[in-house]
Amino acid sequence: MRLSRYFLPVLKENPSEAQIVSHRLMLRAGMIKQSSAGIYSWLPLGFKVLRKLENIVHEEQVRAGHIPMLMPTLQSADLWRESGRYDDYGQEMLRIKDRHDRDMLFGPTNEELITDIFRAHVGSYKDLPLTLYHIQWKFRDEIRPRFGVMRGREFFMKDGYNFDLTKEDALHAYNRHLVSYLRTYERMGLQAIPMRADGGPIGGDYTHEFLVLAETGESEVFYDSAVTDLTFGDRDIDYDSVEQCQAVLEEFTSKYARTDETHDEALFNDIPEDRRRVARGIEVGQIFYFGTKYSEAMNAVVQGPDGKQVPVHMGSHGIGVSRLMGAIIEASHDDKGIIWPEGVTPYHCGIVNLKQGDEEADAACDALYSSLTALGLEPLYDDRNERAGGKFATMDLIGLPWRITVGPRGLKNGVVELTSRRTGESEELPPEAAVQKVAEIYAEL
């Protein structure tokens, strides 16, 4: 993409409505624009990152054997009356009447809808196990929308639902989700710690929240510092293996890590004092096993091997895709702007032309652009007629992890400059070598 042809409405001033850094930087970098409280338009740069996050979530869900689909945002109230949640959900649910005076709602989550689909089409244990998911906009009329996309009213969420014959099978689905979530967050350059949580209105005995540690997080968390040493890395897990998934769950959840809702002071005090941590975190996901709560209420039964009809065991699993963007920025920025992890960066590499209009510099930039593109990478080329200082400030603000700077002086010596956004370190090297190096960095992902 050439910046002269793009739509990147960066702000020079700090927007006064933003209380936390991620919100401020997303507004300044021209990624989002508020349309009403807690509701945002995703401008091209923000949209690009949102799609990247969505893709990672899709890839990891499919890898785990889960099946993508898409359910509507608007739902009929009738299904929610069946489950009993139409009244229980309270004011967070946006209720709408259609022209026939029928009660509708903008879905805050999809347990009812998916259970209705399931009972219409599945009748036998032979069709199990089954895990369906979608990534779709949700609406919750939050009492205090704030912090930009972190606590929106309209937000983008992956929600998945497993259907199993037995509790054991459903717990395997639970463990499988935990593994796939660990992988998902790590690919986004994030450490998200699974913590024992509370069931809330969705209900359930087994539930973990995934938290990214950040001072601006809304949840108070208590943990053994040993949990922050754990990384999933590039392990090759067989998602069908009950033992392998169970082992990962045990590894990542056996140390103390809890949200304030489930915190137990006595257990916490058993941890050696120098490892006890009280901090704040951003909830970027949650997994639940809730047994037959919805299947019994909504009569989602299958015929078991013995011919008897039994309600299915279910769980639901959510990732806050739009909130993740804020969480990543909270975890990765400096005073100049965002620093995208390579896995989610909107463009792989910036190209800054120090002397637009100089024949050689223009030609060198065009050549870099073509070489990077030919290797499947997406460069963002700042070809505007602007001062170098302004171009650097924009690149630093929008946070592309790598930048190639091209100027007549360097070109005389046959070199360009490759700069890491994270470390600020630069090296001079021939243009082809710079392209090669950037390509290698991304090939490792």
Binding site for ligand ATP (CB under 6 A): 109, 140, 142, 151-152, 155, 157, 200, 283-286, 318, 320, 322-323
- Closest to ligand ATP by CB, 134 vs 151, is 151
Phi (first) and psi of residue 10, to 5 degrees: -75, 150
Distances 191 to 144, 252, 259, 319, 327 between C-alpha atoms, Å: 27, 12, 16, 14, 10
10 Å Cβ neighbour count for 359? 9
- Closest to ligand ATP by CB, 204 vs 318, is 318
- Closest to ligand ATP by CB, 66 vs 323, is 323
> What is 131-199 written as a DSSP string?
EEEEEEEEE---SS-BTGGGB-SEEEEEEEEEEESSHHHHHHHHHHHHHHHHHHHHHTT---EEEE---
- Closest to ligand ATP by CB, 140 vs 391, is 140
What is the smallest separation between the CB atom of 138 and Mg ion, expressed in angstroms?
A: 12
Q: Which residue has tokens 């509790």?
A: 167
One-letter amino acid for residue 133 of the chain: Y
What is the smallest separation between the CB atom of 286 and Mg ion, expressed in angstroms?
A: 4
Phi (first) and psi of residue 142, to 5 degrees: -55, 140
What is the smallest separation between the CB atom of 287 and ligand ATP, expressed in angstroms?
A: 9
Contact of residue 221 among Mg ion, ligand ATP, none (CB under 5-8 Å per partner type): none
- Helix, strand, coil tally for the chain in percent (to 5): 40, 30, 35
What is the smallest separation between the CB atom of 240 and ligand ATP, expressed in angstroms?
A: 26
Distance in angstroms (rounded) separating the CA atoms of residues 260 and 283: 12
What is the smallest separation between the CB atom of 347 and Mg ion, expressed in angstroms?
A: 32
At 314, list the tokens. 């279910």
- Closest to ligand ATP by CB, 180 vs 286, is 286
Contact of residue 178 among Mg ion, ligand ATP, none (CB under 5-8 Å per partner type): none
One-letter amino acid for residue 205 of the chain: D
- Closest to ligand ATP by CB, 152 vs 337, is 152
Of the candidates 373, 322, 330, 328, the residue with the CA atom closest to the CA atom of residue 349? 373
> What is 232-259 written as a DSSP string?
-TT----TT-HHHHHHHHHHHHSS-EEE
Contact of residue 285 among ligand ATP, Mg ion, none (CB under 5-8 Å per partner type): ligand ATP
22 binds Mg ion (CB under 5 A): no
At 303, list the tokens. 């015929």
What is the smallest separation between the CB atom of 22 and ligand ATP, expressed in angstroms?
A: 12
Question: Which residue of the chain is nearest ligand ATP when measured via CB?
Answer: 320
What is the smallest separation between the CB atom of 255 and ligand ATP, expressed in angstroms?
A: 21
What is the smallest separation between the CB atom of 283 and Mg ion, expressed in angstroms?
A: 6
- Closest to Mg ion by CB, 173 vs 338, is 173
Contact of residue 152 among Mg ion, ligand ATP, none (CB under 5-8 Å per partner type): ligand ATP
10 Å Cβ neighbour count for 138? 20
Contact of residue 157 among ligand ATP, Mg ion, none (CB under 5-8 Å per partner type): ligand ATP
- Closest to ligand ATP by CB, 66 vs 348, is 66
Q: List the interface residues with Mg ion, window 267-326 (CB under 5 A).
A: 286
Q: Which residues make up the interface to Mg ion (CB under 5 A)? A: 286
